[in-house]
Amino acid sequence: MPAVMSGGTAGVDGGGRSLDCRSFWKAGASETPSAPIREFHDALETGDFDRARVHPKFLHTNATSHKWAFGAISELLDNAVDEICNGATFIKVDKSTNTKDNSPMLVFQDDGGGMDPEGVRQCMSLGFSTKKSKTTIGQYGNGFKTSTMRLGADAIVFTRAIRENNVTLSIGLLSYTFLRRTMKDDIVVPMLDFVVQDGQIAPLVYGSQGDWDSSLKIILDWSPFSSKEELLQQFEDMDSHGTKVLIYNLWMNDDGLLELDFDDDDEDILLRDQGQNSGASTKVQKEIIQQHISHRLRFSLRAYSSILYLKKFENFQIILRGKPVEQINIANELKFKKVVTYKPQVAYDSQVVSVRVDIGFAKEAPVLGIFGINVYHKNRLIMPFWKVLQEASSRGRSVIGVLEANFIEPAHDKQDFERTPLFIRLETKLKQIIVDYWKEKCHLIGYQPIDPKLRSQYKAALKDSGGPGVKIRHEASTAQKTGGHLSNLLPQTYDDEAAFRLTANRAGNSNSCM
């Protein structure tokens, strides 16, 4: 009999069966089952012992923690990254086709340690996690379920593992469609296990053969596959161990189009509904902003995954649609960079924590007005370009920072942090770091020093350097013409040599620039 979990995740089926509503944000409404499917209700009764129940609607409700589809994808990437310690060298993200209805499927495949039959059942259960450590990203035992359900109505998992010289193959179906269309009032997860002996694959039966056959029938009826042989073919491109997840019946937007766009770029997966309007006032600004990672990460999975992990992998790759993702360290993309050390006040009985904050100007400053702090946790990006300092003035413009904050806990969707006193103190400290940096460095990108002494020093240095002919920054003069926050830029040009002379003359003084 299919496993009945006190938690689990499901998706939709691909055999021509799908939910009446394919919009994620509306899919929690009641579904009317078709008459022929009602027979499943009695065939899969789970017994008459007393136990707590989790209604299938909870699968959808639980997945709403992911407001952003890329947030769901990143959790599945995390699962593969956590497998590096078990030998994983890649995670492939690609598109495939459901042969039953020719609809697209989202595929994740890694060569990690895989899961044995017990492990895959833990994976399918809500809230079960054995990964609480100093290095692993996942910790709640919930990310796999919420992520798959956020991306599509159905998911099927194939995993191969070696434990104590035993080679096992396991298949699990998480089908929101199946559960709703059969009017289940509990979460039922059909699973199949196989054992490899002497090169032969044989069913591994934990209950009765009838239960195993029942699970096979459900999986074939509600998955993209029509036979046991087709299911086993999914293991052929795996090595000795690994996991493959196929998500199908992908969610659509209100216009009836897939949320994920596979067509506009053969080497990327795009978010269809994410506005690509940069808000720039000139063509030059628009071109610069649209190419910047802070803009592209909102709708390009390749851009987002390139900065998703702080430290570059040595023997691991994210392969998106057949092409490896080139990792980018934002801190290496800054100019006039400065390193600030922050020591948060954590619990009295804890070890002293020291946090490095890299802060500087965007290379495209001052034309590019993007600003914000990129906060990582255990190497994983949680808050990209967090607008810590939000002001109508130009203060803080083009200032970008990077830090790894392992002393605070991320929210369950790993797109924000729990708003604890520690987090609030961090926010306050970062504001001060930005303000101090701006006062010290703003003239280096062409803003006028407000302090009279500093301004006179700059004019003298500019005069001594022979005027603005040493190095003219075309972008500064271009940006000045746009008005707005850039209206207090120094006239027409910015002279590097003069600025550096001024910096040297200051000899560490911290005159302000507001």
Residues ≥6 apart with Cβ < 8 Å to 248: 11, 12, 13, 14, 98, 103, 104, 105, 106, 152, 153, 154, 155, 156, 224
108, 122 contact by CB (below 8 A): no
Q: Which pLDDT belongs to residue 143?
A: 77
| Fold classified for 3-250 | Heat Shock Protein 90 (3.30.565)
- Residue 26, judged by CB atoms within 10 A of its CB (0-12, 13-18, 19+), counts as middle
- Both tokens assigned to 456: 């006179």
Of 240, 247, 344, 253, nearest to 23 (Cα)? Answer: 253
Domain coordinates of the chain in residue numbers? 3-250, 260-313, 329-514
- Both tokens assigned to 90: 């890649």
The residues pairing with 109 across neighbouring beta strands, listed in sequence order, are 92, 244
Secondary structure element (H or E) that encloses residue 271, with its range: strand 270-271
Secondary structure element (H or E) that encloses residue 228, with its range: helix 228-233
- The bridge status of strand 90-98 relative to strand 317-320 is parallel
Q: Hey, how many other C-beta atoms are within 10 angstroms of the C-beta on 433?
A: 21
Q: What is the pLDDT along the chain (514 residues), one digit of tens a residue?
A: 455 443 333 333 444 566 666 665 456 555 544 444 344 444 444 444 444 557 788 888 888 888 899 999 999 999 999 999 999 999 999 999 999 999 999 999 999 999 999 999 988 876 544 554 555 444 435 778 889 999 999 999 999 999 998 999 999 999 999 998 998 888 889 999 999 998 899 999 988 899 999 999 999 999 999 999 999 999 999 999 999 999 999 999 989 999 999 999 999 999 997 755 555 556 666 777 788 999 999 999 999 999 999 999 999 999 999 999 999 999 999 999 999 999 998 876 667 789 999 999 999 998 888 899 999 999 999 999 999 988 777 889 999 999 999 999 999 889 999 999 999 999 999 999 999 999 999 989 989 875 667 777 777 777 776 654 444 344 444 444 333 344 344 433 333 444 444 444 544 444 444 4
- Both tokens assigned to 340: 């600030």
Residue-level length of the chain: 514
Distance CA 379, CA 310 (A): 5
374, 404 contact by CB (below 8 A): no
Q: Hey, how many other C-beta atoms are within 10 angstroms of the C-beta on 164?
A: 5
- Both tokens assigned to 161: 């593992």
Rounded to an integer, what is the distance from CA 385 to the centroid of its chain?
14
Distance CA 248, CA 223 (A): 9
Distance CA 458, CA 440 (A): 13
The residues pairing with 233 across neighbouring beta strands, listed in sequence order, are none
- The bridge status of strand 90-98 relative to strand 103-110 is antiparallel
6, 51 contact by CB (below 8 A): yes
Q: How far is CA 275 from CA 23, 272, 291, in A?
A: 19, 8, 14
Amino acid residing at 498? A
DSSP SS3 for 232: helix
- Both tokens assigned to 3: 């496993």
Q: Which pLDDT belongs to residue 269?
A: 98
Helix axes 452-464, 496-506, angle to 10 degrees: 130
Distance CA 80, CA 193 (A): 22
Amino acid residing at 300? S
- Both tokens assigned to 267: 């080497």
